Each structure stands twice: as C-alpha cells, then as structure tokens.
Amino acid sequence: MVDETSAYPGTPPEIDSRPSVPTERVVARLRPNARVLFWPVLVFIALPGASFYSFSVFTERWQHTLIGILATLAFLLLVLLPYILWLNRRSTITTRRIIVRRGFFVRERREIFHSRGYHVALKRSWLQSAFRSGDLVISSGVEKPMVLRDVPGANAVLETLQDLVEKNQIVISTHAGSVGTATTAF
C-alpha cells in the first residue's frame, strides 16, 4: 500500500517532534497622541497670514528678506521639527514582544518579550484623562522601565498587554510541561 501523504511513494510520513510555535503577529502600532501637534498646526495656519501682513506693513527690501528668513526659521523650528519628532516615536506591540523605536539622528530601539513577564502601570494627567490617553510604564524588574508616552486608548492597550503576558506565560508553562514529559518518556 502506497502512502500518498508523503513526498515519495513508499516512505512513511515524517513526524515532527518540535512543538509548534505560533507566528508573531502585529497587534497594534502606536504613536503618541496627536494632540501634541496642536500648536504646530496653529503656527502652520497663522504663519502665512502673519508673513503676508508683515510684507505689506514693511516696505524695505532688507525687511522683506528678514521677514522671509524669520518665517522660514519659524516654520522649521515650530512646525516641521515637532512633526518629524512625533513621526519618529513609535511603538509596535506583537504577540511576542513590545518594540519601541525613537530618535531622528540617533536611533534607539528597545524590546521586551511578553514571555519574560513584566508589570504595567498607567499614569495619567488631567489632560490625558480628558483625551483617554496616558503613559504606560512597563517594568521587567531587571532593566530600567520602558515608558510608552501619551498612548491613545491607554486602557485598551493596558488590558491587551496584560492579556498578552498571561497568554505567553500559559504557552511557556504548557511548553515546559510537554518538554518535561517528553524527556522523561525516553
């Protein structure tokens, strides 16, 4: 009788003795709350009007040049820089770990695995409470705490992190139990 499940007829199907490891999936991608961009957006809206008004008030060429330079500097420092800094702070929560990336010129990447177990604390200011955001402080007890600043939907993220830690702890304990029973059978 020929086994049709194997790659070559007549050979027995292979038995994989390795435990199946679930694939890593992205649960959430986070950035700080966009309310930090309120003032840059306000400057972005007001800057052209203020510049054109200044051009009409001052008539000298050197004054127009100075207004143009000041408007450009204000745009770069008060609009573009805060936006770029906001874009360069991101966190990714997967089914196995938390990855925090920060920095523009000097990049920093920190990871913490759910399987290590950690403590999550939520800190909120009155403004963060109004916008339902908060700072999540993740402490593994070994390294300095990882802080996810101004996370939108902080309560949902906190519950998700606690669930992921619990699920990873269960997977580790069942995996350790299956490995322990498999080695004693030999």
Question: What pLDDT, on the 0 to 100 scale, is given for residue 10?
Answer: 60
Q: Examine the pLDDT at 2 and tell me if it is beyond 50.
A: no
Instruction: Read off the pLDDT band of 182 (50, 70, 90).
Output: very low
Question: What pLDDT, on the 0 to 100 scale, is given for residue 169?
Answer: 81
Question: What pLDDT, on the 0 to 100 scale, is given for residue 156?
Answer: 94
Residues recorded for the chain: 186
For the residues of the chain, what is the DSSP string, one character each? ---TTSSSTTSPPP---SPPPPPP-EEEEE---GGGGHHHHHHHHHHHHHHHHHHHH--SHHHHHHHHHHHHHHHIIIIIHHHHHHHT-EEEEESSEEEEEE-SSS-EEEEEEGGG--EEEEE--HHHHHTTEEEEEEE-SSSPPEEEEEEETHHHHHHHHHHHHHHHHHHHHHHHHHHHHHHHH-
138 CB burial (10 A radius; 0-12, 13-18, 19+): buried
pTM: 0.71
Per-residue pLDDT tens digits for 27-86: 999 999 999 999 999 999 999 999 999 999 999 999 999 999 999 999 999 999 999 999
Per-residue pLDDT tens digits for 95-148: 999 999 998 888 899 999 988 889 999 999 999 999 999 999 999 888 889 999
Question: What pLDDT, on the 0 to 100 scale, is given for residue 168?
Answer: 84
